[in-house]
A and B are shown apart, each in its own frame.
Chain A
Amino acid sequence: MSASSSFSVQRVFAIVLRHWYLLRSSWPRLLELIYWPAVQMIMWGFLQLNVARMPGALAATASTFLAAVMLWDVLFRGQLGFSMSFLEEMWARNLANLMISPLRPIEFVIGLVVMSMVRLAIGLVPVSILAIVFFGFNLWGLGLALVAFFANLLFTSWAVGLLCSGLVLRHGLGAEGLTWSLMFLFLPLTCVYYPVTTLPAWLQPIAWALPPTAVFEGMRALVVDHVFRADLMVWALALNAAGLIIAAAAFLSLLGAARRAGSLISVGE
């Protein structure tokens, strides 16, 4: 038996395998990953078509709708993919089994991060192909900039997912609703569909303190002005580094609080 005192890729693989088995065994879970992103893309795609027929600046703005909705899905689905895998352990009453195993918190979190990417890919790849077929919009055509957009959005999604999971760990499934709703606070504040200048002056500094704002501004600069704003990506990366550190500290603190409250042995459906 290998000692459990150092990081183990095998234990990360065990977590990924557990959730892969689960996804593979449940077609409703797989369908859910594609269904809502597809509905959103189709709705915003038709809206983009309609607005693009209008004259002037509005038409130019409309060209960003599909990119915006797909990048929003990276943010939202990335977080949901992380949090859902965590919730599955709570629903299955399996968390205590994991917590008394040699699995370390960092290995558990990395396993959830991998599953977040797997779940996102299952949803996003077919939807991005549908966008090409239906609306002639090629998300992958954004090129290397897309890597910077994706990375920054995923970092934010994992930080929020980590925070939500910590809250559920400490407060039980009563806090589950946060997993579904917390990210929607980012929807108006991170200016997914409009420039930051649309917000009142007092709200703009708050928006700029959220990493996705820089990504969505960067996306508009690329799609409308054909300029890649590296400065915005660096800003988002710095904010994400801080966000991930804070979220990891919060998760560990909430895990400690759950141990003190005895809630790890009483979690369940």
Chain B
Amino acid sequence: MTAFAIEAENLTKHYGASVAVDGISFALAAGSVTGLLGGNGAGKTTTIGMIMGLVAPTAGRVRVLSADMAREPHQVLHRMNFESPYVDLPHRLTVRQNLRVFGLLYGVPGIVDRIAALARDLDLTEFIDRQAGKISAGQKTRVALAKALINEPDVLVLDEPTASLDPDTADWIRSHLERYRARRGATILLASHNMSEVERLCDRVIMLKRGLIVDDEPPAALIARYGRQTLEEVFLDVARGRREPMKEAAK
């Protein structure tokens, strides 16, 4: 069995003449938390789409838990899950109905107990029988996370999991993700624009710019190499092309 949960090899995506992802390669160790960073249009969502099998690569390949996502996604889809603010759950269904439907889709044994456990862990009890379209943004994010955790995935892909949340709710979500990773040993890939979130959660950061990997290191090493205090400053340096990494500058 491979030690890598996700392996991307020369992953490329063209949309007509536009290059969204330009031959990137990386391998994520099982049980790791990796941040995928980059400005708008850097290729984060397209990369996530290819990992999840939603977008077909123009070239290269992705393997998740050893399965080639272009040829055999159904070998592993039941062991993966995904959350994104750009994807919704049906608004007219109650939270409980949504979780039941996804529990059935993922073949979750003991759905009733699993939903009860998620409701307890993610504090959904108060609104679990309310329609998903009639709950607040913070509650929706918790419900989306509950859907993403319904099958206790080995690989969890999160696209901006705390976008538009107040600091308290965002902190609460991050703590839950930390606990989930510790308990389950899951591999988490996280695309985020929140640098303090990435610093707190991630063992490693892959920074994309115009479809290419420009940095790939642990957050602390990246901050040190750029001679900065925070990851946000590093992000701004990379995004604005203001400063070369210190090692490069020394050369």
Binding site for B on A (CB under 8 A): 1-5, 8, 10-11, 13-14, 17-18, 21-22, 25-26, 88, 92-94, 96-104, 256, 259-262, 264-266, 268
Contacts and interface: CB of A to CB of B under 8 A. Distances in A.
Nearest to B103: A14
Interface stretch (B34-42, B105-113, B165-173): B105-113
B147 interface: yes
B104 A13 contact: yes
The 7 closest A-B pairs by CB, nearest first: A2-B107, A14-B104, A93-B88, A259-B56, A4-B78, A92-B90, A102-B78
Contacts of B152: 1
A71 to B, nearest CB: 32
Contacts of A1: 78-79, 106-109, 151-152
A96 B87 contact: yes
Given A101-B102, A260-B56, A264-B49, A18 B93 contact: yes
B109 A14 contact: no
A5 B75 CA distance: 6
A264 B105 contact: no
B54 interface: yes
Nearest to B81: A100
Contact of B97 (A21, A94, A98, A104): A21
B235 interface: no
A26 B81 CA distance: 29
Contacts, number: 120
A108 to B, nearest CB: 10
Interface of B: 13, 15, 20, 45-46, 49, 52-56, 74-75, 77-82, 84, 86-94, 97, 100-102, 104-109, 131, 147, 151-152
A103 B105 contact: yes
B80 A17 contact: no
Given A102-B77, A265-B55, A22 B92 contact: yes
A22 to B, nearest CB: 5
Contact of B104 (A10, A25, A97): A10
Nearest to B154: A1
A97 B98 CA distance: 11
B141 to A, nearest CB: 15
A253 to B, nearest CB: 13
Given A11-B104, A100-B82, A268-B86, 13 more contacts: A10-B107, A14-B104, A14-B105, A18-B97, A18-B101, A21-B93, A21-B97, A22-B92, A94-B89, A96-B84, A97-B87, A99-B54, A265-B54
Contacts of B104: 10-11, 13-14, 17
A147 to B, nearest CB: 31
A201 to B, nearest CB: 47
Contact of A262 (B55, B81, B82): B55
A138 B247 CA distance: 86
Contacts of A2: 78, 107
Contacts of A13: 104
22 contacts: A4-B75, A4-B77, A10-B104, A11-B107, A17-B104, A21-B92, A22-B92, A25-B93, A26-B92, A88-B90, A92-B88, A92-B89, A96-B84, A97-B87, A100-B77, A100-B80, A100-B82, A102-B106, A259-B55, A259-B56, A260-B56, A265-B49
B87 to A, nearest CB: 5
A1 B106 CA distance: 7
Contact of A94 (B75, B82, B87, B100): B87
A92 B79 contact: no
B74 A104 contact: yes
A265 B108 contact: no
